[in-house]
Amino acid sequence: MANVSIKFNNKEFLLACEDGQEEHLEELLIQINKKFNNLKNDLGNLGENKLLLITAVKIMDEYYETKKKVDQKKNELNDLSNKFKELKSLIYNYRDSKESEIEKLNLDHENLKQEIDNNQKKYENLIDEAADQISNFVNKAKLENISK
């Protein structure tokens, strides 16, 4: 345990604190002393107890205002975090739906390609059959002309 000697309202005090916390305690006491002296200058000498009470109330007011702002920022951060999670979910859902669409389009493309190949084969068969029929017709016509 460490001891810190401080001066407050022109009086010396010896305060104990955890080892390594001496500078922090001194800084806190400097701030309290500033507030106390500012109030003493602004309000006049109302008596040490009343000035100490007003100083404590001022410090607590600042603390609660700061705490309120911190809580508000935490809520804003939580809202942003929730919106981010929602946006992330929407992005993943969009990605998944687009991947499904791409798969379907690729499957449709393959089916169309297969259908085109099948139709091309049918068309070629029809052309071959028509060419054979025309050739047979021409040969038949030549034979008929020769036999006449």
Domain count, the chain: 1
Candidates 24, 25, 54; CA nearest to 38 is: 54
Q: What is the pLDDT of residue 45?
A: 79
**CA distance linking residue 92 with residue 98, whole number of Å:** 10
Asked whether residue 32 is domain-assigned, the answer is no
Q: Which domain holds residue 135?
A: 71-139
pLDDT at 132: 92
> Which phi and psi (to 5°) does residue 142 adopt?
-65, -40
Residue 148: per-residue pLDDT:
65
Alpha carbon distances (Å) from 74 to 19, 58, 80, 85 = 32, 24, 10, 16
Q: What is the pLDDT of residue 141?
A: 85
- Within-domain flag for 85: yes
Q: Is residue 91 in a domain?
A: yes
Q: What pLDDT shows up at residue 44?
A: 86
Q: Is residue 44 part of a domain?
A: no
Q: Is residue 87 part of a domain?
A: yes
Q: Per the domain annotation, does 84 fall within a domain?
A: yes
In a domain, 102, yes or no: yes
In a domain, 108, yes or no: yes
- How would you write the pLDDT of the chain (148 residues) with one tens digit per residue? 899 998 888 889 999 999 999 999 999 999 999 999 999 999 987 898 999 999 999 999 999 999 999 999 999 999 999 999 999 999 999 999 999 999 999 999 999 999 999 999 999 999 999 999 999 999 888 887 777 6
